[in-house]
Structure 1
Amino acid sequence: MTKDDIIALPNPHLRQKSAKIHVITDEVRQLSANMIAAALDWEDSRPHEISAALAAIQVDHLERIIIVRSDFDDKATREFTTLINPEIVKYEGEIVADFEGCLSVKHVYGKVPRHSKIRVKALDLDGNEIRLKAEGFLARVIQHEIDHTNGIVFIDHIRDQHDAFYTLDDSGELQPLDYEADIKDNAQLWD
């Protein structure tokens, strides 16, 4: 897969819930590999961004699979961890609003409130149960991707539309967007 296989709003599939995976097959393992290839291809086309994670729905597969980058700080580390049927079993810490973007929401970033710590259970590609604690940016990324498996996109969490939406300028800096002028009535942002 390539970046061209990543679907974006207003594609209605992004609003559907993904199905639980009952048997981990070679097709599931191949889907994970394809998702990693698409995420890295997208990243290679973006000078100022990394591909932190991706959910299967973003490549138009309604299955509960997410991939999460192993190292968010080093773009040269191109490894991902696959989580199958990921589920948050406990929310902890405080609610923190911070910037998020999404490969399926083109050109728009926003401040999203998320829990600072979570506990997650999932399966790995061999069918083994994984339990992990995540905090900070990793917790935010996992919450974002699990939302995708439930048909939720990060912009759904933004309540205050003033000073909430941003875009990247040519130097990679976030610049505020005006909700009424730049987002609400601007279909080209969603194309």
Structure 2
Amino acid sequence: MLTMDDIVRDGHPALRKVAEEVSMPPSQEDKAILQSLIEYVKNSQDPEVAQRHGLRPGIGLAGPQINVTKRMIAVHLSDEKDSLISYALFNPKIISHSVEKSYLTAGEGCLSVDESIPGYVPRYARITVKGFDLEGNEVKIRLKGLPAIVFQHEIDHLNGIMFYDHINKQDPFAEVPDATPVER
């Protein structure tokens, strides 16, 4: 089981590398790694398990965050309608996105970043993601709101991009043009 000790922190070289594609069908080793990512995210949201194992709650995790520079992410959260959005994906790719932007009013956080970095992180309001599930089956997901933001955050990790790279350095809370604020 992954713990906070397995998560690399800001400044670790794996967080700035572009992750490699995972060859399909996935190997048993790659499946095990991806499975451990989704299990961490689910366990971190269970207050009892999280406390027992010292897990910081998260809603997404990417391979590079555990020093595995392969294109794999896990996301587990509920959307604004309380529908569960839970995916463990190999090689996720944004295949289309809206012109309209959105951002979290409370800003973003990251399991690899220990301090709070305030500011708006502009993201696409709606995205379509294509990737492969644990069994290597292709999946296509349309997302908006918080789930869309989380997927973009995790896919950024696969490209060596940190959330704070998107924050306006001069004015972190500058209004984002044509953007919908998203409450968390």
Query: After TM superposition, where is structure 1 displaced by more than 2 Å over at least 4 residues in a row?
Result: 36-43, 70-73, 160-164
* Correspondence for 2:94 among 80, 88, 92: 88
Equivalent pairs, count: 159
Structure number having the greater strand percentage: 1
2:58 maps to what in 1? 51
Q: CA deviation at 1:161?
A: 4.4
Secondary structure (helix, strand or coil) at the match of 1:121 reads strand
In structure 1, how many angstroms separate the alpha carbons of the residues matched to 2:103 and 2:79? 19
Gaps of 5+ in 1: 165-191
Which structure is higher in RCO with an 8 Å CA cutoff and minimum separation 6?
Answer: 2
Spell out the pairing of 1:147-162 with structure 2 (5 A cutoff): 147-162=156-171
TM-score computed with the length of structure 2 as normaliser: 0.77
Q: Quick one: structure 1 residues 80 and 133, their matched pair in 2 at CA, closer, same or farther if it must change by over 3 Å?
A: closer
Q: Indicate whether 1:69 and 2:76 are aligned.
A: yes
Within 5 A, what are the aligned runs for 1:79-158? 80-98=86-104, 99-110=107-118, 111-158=120-167
Q: TM-score, normalised by structure 1?
A: 0.74
Give CA deviations for 1:79-111 in whole Å, capped at 9, x if unaligned: 942011000011115112322110011121432
Give the distance between the partners of 2:35 and 2:130, measured in 1 at CA. 21
Percent of pairs with identical residues: 34
What SS does the aligned partner of 2:96 have? Answer: strand
Backbone CA RMSD of aligned residues:
2.5
